[in-house]
Structure 1
Amino acid sequence: MRSRIVVGVSPSLAGLQALRYAVKVARERGGTVDAVRVWLFRPLWRDTTATFERRVHLAEAELLIPHAFDAAMGGPPTGVKIEPVVLEGLTVQSLVEHAGDDADLLVVGGDRRGSHLLGSGPVTRYSVRHARCPIVVVPPPALAQRQPVDALLRELDREIR
């Protein structure tokens, strides 16, 4: 039986790192990757433009999955089966529900504040607390964990003076 690795798809640096990690694990285990993009549309009013805008949001969510693979690894990976999954709902709940009991691993991207549960974002906190399968929180690349560019520029300015 093939391993099923579920990964939340996000264009953030941590999200792209999580995507790379999920593909790596799926390769090692001979499994598949459920690349899950969750979206939510809450119109302020209901009319024909809201219906059109909802379709636009759905199309953006569908297009983000291949775009994330392009950004993370230059295109779809070879040797690993990718199942694109687009769900409408709250990210925190939908991702955990999709993984369910039968996923072998749920992979989410952490934030630049580190992997401390209290300092992490809502998706990470909810996933860690409610996932019914093993979960890995992948930090962003080391460069993204450094000080923001503005802080670096201020520090450089102080050194020059």
Structure 2
Amino acid sequence: MSRIVVGVSGSLASLAALRHATALARRDGAELLAVLAWEPPEGEALAARIPDRAWARMWADEARARLTRAFEDGLGAIPDGPAVERRIVRDAPAAALCRAADRPGDLLVLGTTTGRGLLGGPRRRPVLRAVTARAERPVLVVPGPVVRRGEARVLRRHARTAVAAPGTYPVPRQMID
């Protein structure tokens, strides 16, 4: 592998993917490219009709901060080991990730949730489905942690804990008691 491209959104599943991709990059001496894709909340069509540079800059800054937080929450900080590039892309996540993994030898790493959705049905995975259908490079899917209802809120509240080894997930003390 020459480079590992990981999709980051800040979700628990993407943090698991970031930890796993970082461990692979360290092990293989590969570069790590973390990609966070964002779109205007009102959609690209309305943003194109009524462009507002300040509004777009605010959302780009928020995406940059979210990527920095993902490194802090998932790894404690930006790792020293592998060469790390952080990239913010204004595009749909699947398209941005497929375009980012453009070199021969690239590996695309994505996190996914497991289990059932809030209403009992299977969870929708539109980004994962689109990436696996379109990617020209190998895709590694990393399962995120299985959390029960209400646990995700507790984990996010206590996200800045000590750095955990890849594949392990720190559990806040309140959940143990």
TM class, shorter-length = 0.7 to 0.9
For residues 44-71 of structure 1, the C-alpha deviation after alignment (integer angstroms, 9 at most, x for no partner) is 6626xx3211100111112222211100
2:169 equivalent in structure 1: none
TM-score (norm 1): 0.79
User: Which residue of 50, 55, 58 corresponds with 1:56?
Assistant: 58
User: What runs of 5+ residues in structure 1 fail to find an aligned partner?
Assistant: 151-161
State the AA in 2 paired with 1:98: A
d(CA) in 1 for partners of 2:76, 2:126 = 29
Alpha carbons 2:15, 2:70 under 8 Å: kept: yes
TM-score (norm 2): 0.72
- Residue 136 of structure 1, CA deviation: 0.8
2:100 equivalent in structure 1: 98
Structure number with the higher helix fraction is 1
How many residues align? The count is 141
User: Which residue of 132, 136, 152 corresponds with 1:132?
Assistant: 136
RMSD, aligned α-carbons: 2.1
Alpha carbons 1:105, 1:133 under 8 Å: kept: yes
Matched, 1:18 2:21: no
State the AA in 1 paired with 2:142: V
- Residue 101 of structure 1, CA deviation: 4.6
* Structure 1 residue ranges (4+ consecutive) displaced by more than 6 angstroms after TM superposition: none
**Cα distance change, pair 86–103 in 1 and its aligned pair in 2 (3 A):** farther
Alpha carbons 1:100, 1:131 under 8 Å: kept: no
Larger gyration radius, structure 1 or structure 2: 1
- 1:29-40 matched pairs, under 5 angstroms: 29-40=28-39
Matched, 1:81 2:80: no
